[in-house]
Amino acid sequence: MKAYGKSIGRRYEEKEDITIDDDFLNDYSKILQSKAYRRLAYKTQVICLPDNPHVRTRLSHTNEVVVFSIDIAKQLGLNENLCMAIAAGHDIGHTPYGHVGERILSKLSGKPFKHNINSVVVAQHVERKGEGMNLTYETHDGILNHSRGDGKLSKTVDKPEEYDVVMNGDKIAYIFSDLNDALRYGHLDESKIPECALKLGKNQRERVRNCLKSLVSESKEKGVVEFSEGPEFKNFSELKDFMYNEVYYKINTSLQEKTLENLYDYFSTSEDFSGIDPVISVSLLTDAEANFFGQLLLKSRKPSAEQIKHFGIFEIQYAIGSGLVGKHVEVNTDATQVAVKIIREHGRLEYPKVSILPNPDYVKYVITMYETAKKAIKNYRKLKNLESDRKLLVPY
């Protein structure tokens, strides 16, 4: 098994942010310093705003994925730094209330909302006031491919093995930690722990260790990263099914769903946010911000922009201090304009030195965002020379 080597590049060359002589370690550093990464501390893993500090948030889950990915990559001789970067950024596009938010935004908007796609959008079009973090192609692509959409441990085709390291590390991390936290909060009784979990170990550490050992052993034998057979995999798959059927689907999320519906309606109809895609606005909120909004509604007050001006999204999307509430900052302008034009004309995006066929879901999502942004920005800055402005291209 061969470790992934040098990156094929970023959207544009830079010097000021490059402090480490490793592209992927630089990506990791950028993500850890981002606003999106900090917001994860206030977003749901499986329990919303837990009172118990030992219960995972989306950030502590992310940190566990980073650690497990390093463990797997180290033992298989793969690129640890690439795994770290992908793992650190894999969930930065998550909504408040976790997958509940993902499901509700899909229903309300009438188009599928995928957190892995949104993570790339956040990294590339929202962070740094719309300039993006300028991560490497591989980190973006790994983030996009960490979730396969069906919940299965499916293998990627013609992709770096490091992508599958993070995908497997993510699944192992959330299944066992969510079991742990479901017990803490009474969503599951100790006596109801299934036999498949007990066969993997008497506690979380043993269960994680045994699955990681099995994954590494199978991967070494096959020469590719894979976790698809043997007693550990069988028990893990059974536990995964159990968690979905007996825990995830049975947690009462009706209050969170109602809050998200009200937030979506608010951002869709408020004159203060006219023309701004409510899906993006809602997805950037933390659980605490969503709950605060819900409390305002319980008091029968129609929230104004002034009442929620402490929300972090204002720092990202709007210029409040200048009295420009509702004026969209250029989160998704020139880069997307170029991208959509090239996609429509040529069916693909040109990335420096290589031609990459775009991911259809991502392209569709970018086009949707583009159309919304185009309406929102009256004084849209036009590019004079599309061919010369390659630095603005997105790599999908």
Rounded Cα–Cα distance for residues 371 and 367 (Å): 6
Judge if 180 and 273 occupy the same domain.
Answer: no
Range of lowest pLDDT (44-58, 143-157, 206-220, 319-333): 319-333
384: in domain? yes
311: in domain? yes
Q: 306 falls in which pLDDT band (50, 70, 90)?
A: confident
Which position has the higher pLDDT, 383 or 96? 96
Judge if 303 and 366 occupy the same domain.
Answer: no
CB 66 within 8 A of CB 88: yes
Judge if 265 and 277 occupy the same domain.
Answer: yes
Q: Return the pLDDT at 346.
A: 45
Total structural domains within the chain:
3
**First CA to last CA distance, the chain:** 26
354: in domain? yes
> What pLDDT digit, counting tens, does each position of 6-45 carry?
998 888 887 766 677 899 999 999 999 999 999 999 999 9
Judge if 242 and 344 occupy the same domain.
Answer: no
The DSSP bridge pattern shows strands 349-351 and 354-356 to be antiparallel
Task: Residue 206: give its domain's CATH number.
Answer: 1.10.3210.10
197: in domain? yes
Judge if 269 and 157 occupy the same domain.
Answer: no
Judge if 92 and 127 occupy the same domain.
Answer: yes
322: in domain? no
Mark which of 199, 218, 250 sits at the end of a domain.
250
Residues counted in the chain? 396
Judge if 300 and 358 occupy the same domain.
Answer: no
Range of lowest pLDDT (13-17, 93-97, 145-149, 281-285): 13-17
Q: Return the pLDDT at 151.
A: 56
Q: Which domain holds residue 203?
A: 23-250
Mark which of 219, 250, 281 sits at the end of a domain.
250
Judge if 45 and 161 occupy the same domain.
Answer: yes
Judge if 309 and 350 occupy the same domain.
Answer: no
164: in domain? yes
> What pLDDT digit, counting tens, does each position of 154-174 carry?
677 789 999 999 999 999 999
Q: Return the pLDDT at 17.
A: 65
Rounded Cα–Cα distance for residues 277 and 372 (Å): 6
Judge if 85 and 212 occupy the same domain.
Answer: yes
Rounded Cα–Cα distance for residues 165 and 157 (Å): 14
Judge if 244 and 259 occupy the same domain.
Answer: no
327: in domain? no
For residue 13, report the phi and psi dihedrals to the nearest 5 degrees.
-70, 150
Judge if 212 and 101 occupy the same domain.
Answer: yes
39: in domain? yes
